[in-house]
Structure 1
Amino acid sequence: MTLQKANNLFEFFKSTLVINLAVCVVPILFLGLFAFKYTFLTVGFAASLVVKELNSKNEYLFYYNNAISKTQLWLCAWGCTFVFLVILSFAFNFIATLF
């Protein structure tokens, strides 16, 4: 994988992250951190992909021209979301042990 391709995949992940976090605000407020983790990986991620699918159809053409398929975008974004969630969980647990 080239550096340009990795940068493009990371930019796609960052564009889905904002929508994902916005969807997950309600579960963390009412149901706690446990529900946030599951919502972040499932409902939030799916909602961010739906929004990207409806609002940014031309972006997929950009990624396709850079030899990145839609499936590869989604799988890499889910993998990055999982890694981000693991790091976030460690940070929350560390803060909880401090206080």
Structure 2
Amino acid sequence: MTNSTVESAPCARPLPQTAPAQSPTCRFTVTLHDSREVLAKIVSTLRSVPVQELSYAASDSVRSAWATAEIVVDRADAARTRRRLHRMVGVLAVVEDR
């Protein structure tokens, strides 16, 4: 009887799966009914959130009184920002761009 030894090749370990790099910021696009005080309402709603960018555009048409706001916050504040924007009166949609 021969005694044979089987040498095993070192196990190749799979590389750890890495999640795609996320941006440190989060951008929200908010569609809402336009009014004279809506921009002040946005600022007051997000007063405790460090907003990095805020842009606001209102439609020119009298028939469609809607506006769009784009808000950029730190990713750590995204959930709180989303909750606060959804609670605002007159908000039609909140879209989070990741």
TM-score (norm: length of structure 1): 0.23
- Which has the larger helix fraction? 1
Question: Whose Rg is larger?
Answer: 2
Q: Bigger relative contact order, structure 1 or 2, given CA contacts below 8 A and separation 6+? A: 2
- Which has the larger strand fraction? 2
